[in-house]
Chain A
């Protein structure tokens, strides 16, 4: 349904040089995703069972995500998760209607975040320029999803498997600022910008 509506994203990237062999950083604007913030009673067994039946289990450890197909569940706060791209499997309506225990709150944040992917061999170097987190895999493993700051912007960072870099969930109003910052700060690594 969203495809039919007149969406205008926060940024429209301009493709920039960078053959894959020389670019140390590859910056990509990710397509819009469904993001639902779910406050759920994980201590309620039927609720958890219903989630499992839908193919989703919620990570209980802080700042860790769980993947199920294209869908991801991010732990964002005690008792709070983001469900990203749950698509047809589980929609806000089905969560509200089908689950035996009423979730404490569901908020649609789909339009509030712009998702940027930073890949390439020097992705970590670029993120380390503006983010005070320890980015070592021992402290920030694959699947980790801490919320921190990057170049003055509060955001969520998701570390992708197979050294693919990070997905940044950037508050929409800051997206253009951060997009520009990443390109300036990444210039020394020969940055390649892929169009949407």
Chain B
């Protein structure tokens, strides 16, 4: 094992399992159980990235999710995942990682010149510097964005990566598997509650694993192991390691991103799974995050949080340096110093801002009280610490500056409780001056915060609080009380910290003092913002970008707002803090997308005849969620050629089209006709059994919402047809009215869209075709007239045939139970063979309906058209009420000059009509010019041998014969048009009744 900084014993790694990995192409080894960060440190690699704005060399700063610096791209270059925290990446054999934001290499980064030009680029420099000339901003922005930044999104698709989703429910969700969390979980589990415990680390124990701890007189490992054994054994407990609880949402829904351990033997397992957990109660035991000390050049590789140094030692048996200076304002760094010294690190000095002694003493180490590290020496690695005595106000220095040689500065500025989920739930924070940190202010109804996350830093109280929270949570869920023995452990309180938000600069030891390492925000930036009037912490954040990095300022928020408070001479409580919002840690987009990518983006609906269309070579097009045949390119022709052939076949002989996608609603009950009367503008009381009628539906505001035919099968039994797109909406509309507005009606509705396969057979030879199919239905005009229906046996199966037409030709719709659809299709194809029966798709359907002048919902009836606008004003009954009727009297709906449905033909018969064109009276493509209407649908009409269009034109019906222009600036075309009637073929409907 050639890892020079690996200690011979200890840690929780598997020493005998060596793993190979590369960092920037350099081959290295680590151990199973390492993170990428600990493996890099074991190899003595501290320089791992360049900073966001100044391109300064950066090292590994923490050992957890708060990491501001050590962000890497993981995986091969073209499919990598950027901006992952090296402190959270579990090492696996073959791992490839790359540093970010540097060119040409990490060691020589040309953009590092920005650092020397820093006075020219203070916070908000781009608002001031690049304002003139205004039109150049786009150019400036491009360069600024290129120079600043983190990792780049990958360009390739990692086909092997799958992401998944999982819904889960529980009584108690415990966030954090440390002392308080595991105790809460065990308490709840013993009561019988359904418990989920999530922790972002692969191993359990939280801060207990970062320091040697004695519980019940033994190593804390024993307690962790026995607690986990019991939790694992219980059926009512789900343990989720590697699980980041990133957000709390309404009604106690929690989002958890659960990572797969890479190199998992089960290859089909998803890389990451989004757990959506709905819980009755949550116990948040998320711990605390250590704060940096803000001294000059506090970002140099080799400056590290003291707790992180301790964690690398105790968890991973890694020595983060050979000779350390400990800089602190509280007791916790002493424990780190003690462990580092025991592992063989030379502790050069403990520099404590406080004068009063800490509760921990360490023999044989130089102790410098009342002082602080005011600057780090060195460039790409720390070479020394500048130490000076602090004045009593903490803002000045007295005495000389001493340089102490070292390669590691362990800094601790106190601890900030991890209150993010509490904030997501709407909880407010208060400043606790005893621990110099923000803590939860109030009790929330369904979420409790315990342990270090609540500002409780004494271990025995964490256990007690965990047990109490567990009991309280299960009691709220209706479970009985349980007894749990919490371990006996250290109950000693620490010496209070000395708040130290930033350190003064010492003469001769100037340098940037970083408040936010990831966003490169310094003390000077915060003070500048305050001077320039950004007195609100929210403004400070936006002006300086403090806390706006991917780490959301986990290490910087408190220092930043305290410096602002100091500058403004306000108390910290008065300045407040920005609101924490989800996600707690960044979640890759793949996790949210899950399996809903590519062709699985949305469900696909297929008709019972789908395979027949495929066999006929159909090109499909989506219609809502449905796939419908767009056209059938016999011999590989294009859509125009195919659709014109199909439309001509319908006009001259016979075609068939799959209309199974239309919505169909079964309506039964003594009040069925009354329901139809109220839904449709026209009347239904006179519709005879065995007859079909066209109906038009309005929204409450009087605009046309849907149309279709409804057939009366029996006295109290109707079948309604809706458009394909609105099938669901119409069903919802009807159910809404039946349940809330007209509950007194004796009528029941049911969607039967999926029950039927429906084939429309259209064209002059349609009757002859149907008559050739075996069955007992009489298709003669006398027996089955236009708008009639017949039921019987057709092609050997029970069928209902409606004589209705959308194409304008003699036509029938044959409806059969869905599974029989393919057989009926085959029978029709065989019967029509001598007529060259032609399947047609939605493109030909569109041609036929434009020729016939039928409007469609979504094009002509686009939500702004009334029945009268569409030429159907007289359909509206005056003898009954219906949905939308009372809106019809509104002035705007009866105003003159409303747009009305008309037809258009180009004056030059060969000219094409641009779809979506505006109708203008002046032949001008350049505005402003009055737009009197717009083209809604266009088609090449084989019947009229030229282009035709439908349009909505102001007062259009009175303008038939006028010449206007279709103007399409987008395609740079202007076509002279004649306004016509909207019906282009068979205006008297003779073909329908043939």
Contact = CB atoms under 8 A, between A and B. Distances in A.
Interface of A: 5-10, 32, 37, 39, 80, 104-113, 125, 128-136, 139, 151-153, 171-174, 176-178, 180-181, 184-185, 187-188
Given A8-B819, A113-B754, 7 more contacts: A111-B756, A111-B817, A134-B278, A139-B169, A172-B608, A173-B607, A188-B266
Contacts of A37: 750
Contact of B748 (A39, A131, A184): A39
B748 A188 contact: no
B754 A173 contact: yes
Interface in B585-640: 595-596, 600, 602-608, 610-611, 626
Given A112-B755, A188-B268, A105 B750 contact: yes
B976 interface: no
Given A104-B748, A184-B595, A6 B755 contact: no
Given A152-B603, A171-B754, A111 B819 contact: yes
B603 A177 contact: yes
Contacts of A110: 755, 817
B169 A136 contact: yes
A177 B270 CA distance: 20
A105 B754 contact: no
Nearest to A11: B606
Given A173-B607, A176-B606, A8 B821 contact: yes
Interface string B151-173: 00000000000001111110000
Contact of A104 (B605, B606, B746, B821): B746
Contacts of A180: 600
B130 interface: no
A177 B756 CA distance: 19
Contacts of B797: 5-6
Given A6-B797, A6-B820, A187-B268, A107 B668 contact: yes
B666 interface: yes
Contact of A107 (B276, B607, B611, B750): B750
Q: How large is the interface on B (under 10, 10 to 19, 20 to 34, 35 or more residues)?
A: 35 or more
B608 A10 contact: yes
B194 interface: yes
A57 to B, nearest CB: 21
B255 to A, nearest CB: 13
Contacts of B821: 8
B603 A129 contact: no
A160 to B, nearest CB: 20
A148 B602 CA distance: 17
Contact of A109 (B276, B278, B596, B752): B752
Nearest to A79: B748
A99 B334 CA distance: 86
A181 B750 contact: no
A106 B819 CA distance: 20
A168 to B, nearest CB: 14
B796 A6 contact: yes
Nearest to B728: A154
B595 A105 contact: no
Residue of A106, A108, A112, A153 with most chain B CB atoms under a 10 A cut-off: A112
B251 to A, nearest CB: 12
Residue of A7, A80, A181 with most chain B CB atoms under a 10 A cut-off: A7
B669 interface: yes
Residue of A173, A176, A178 with most chain B CB atoms under a 10 A cut-off: A173
B269 interface: yes
B823 interface: yes
Given A8-B821, A130-B165, A177-B603, A112 B268 contact: no
B818 interface: yes
Interface in B278-308: 278
A68 B756 CA distance: 29
What 5 A-B pairs have minimum CB-CB distances, sorted nearest first? A6-B823, A105-B668, A112-B754, A112-B755, A173-B605
B822 interface: yes
Contacts of B595: 151, 181, 184-185
Nearest to B823: A6
A185 B164 contact: yes
Given A107-B666, A152-B603, A131 B746 contact: no
Contacts of B605: 173-174, 177
Interface in B784-833: 796-797, 817-823
Contacts of B754: 109, 111-113, 171-173
Contacts of A129: 164-167
A8 B604 contact: no
B486 to A, nearest CB: 29
A104 B668 contact: yes
Contacts of B604: 174, 176-177
B283 to A, nearest CB: 20
Contacts of B818: 10, 111-112, 172
A37 B665 CA distance: 13
B608 A8 contact: yes
A6 B795 CA distance: 10
Nearest to B746: A104
A129 B258 CA distance: 13
Nearest to A151: B603
A128 B167 contact: yes
Interface string B426-460: 00000000000000000000000000000000000
B795 to A, nearest CB: 8
A174 B278 CA distance: 28
Contacts of B669: 104-105
Given A128-B167, A132-B276, A8 B822 contact: yes
Nearest to A191: B268
Contact of A9 (B276, B753, B819): B819
B279 to A, nearest CB: 11
B603 A133 contact: no
Given A113-B754, A136-B194, A7 B819 contact: yes
Interface string B252-282: 0000000000000010111000001010000
A178 B604 CA distance: 9
Contacts of A5: 796-797, 820, 823
A153 B820 contact: no
Nearest to B600: A181
B90 to A, nearest CB: 19
B752 A8 contact: no
16 contacts: A10-B606, A10-B818, A105-B668, A105-B748, A106-B668, A107-B666, A107-B750, A110-B755, A112-B752, A131-B167, A132-B276, A173-B607, A174-B605, A176-B606, A177-B604, A184-B595
A176 to B, nearest CB: 6
Contacts of B755: 107-112, 172
A145 B360 CA distance: 63
B823 A173 contact: no
A128 B819 contact: no
Contacts of B756: 111
B870 to A, nearest CB: 30
Contacts of A133: 167
A146 B803 CA distance: 39
Contacts of A188: 266, 268-270
Interface in B189-212: 194
Residue of B165, B756, B822 with most chain A CB atoms under a 10 A cut-off: B165
Contacts of A109: 750, 752, 754-755
Contacts of A178: 603
Contact of B603 (A134, A174, A187): A174
Contacts of A107: 666, 668, 750, 752, 755
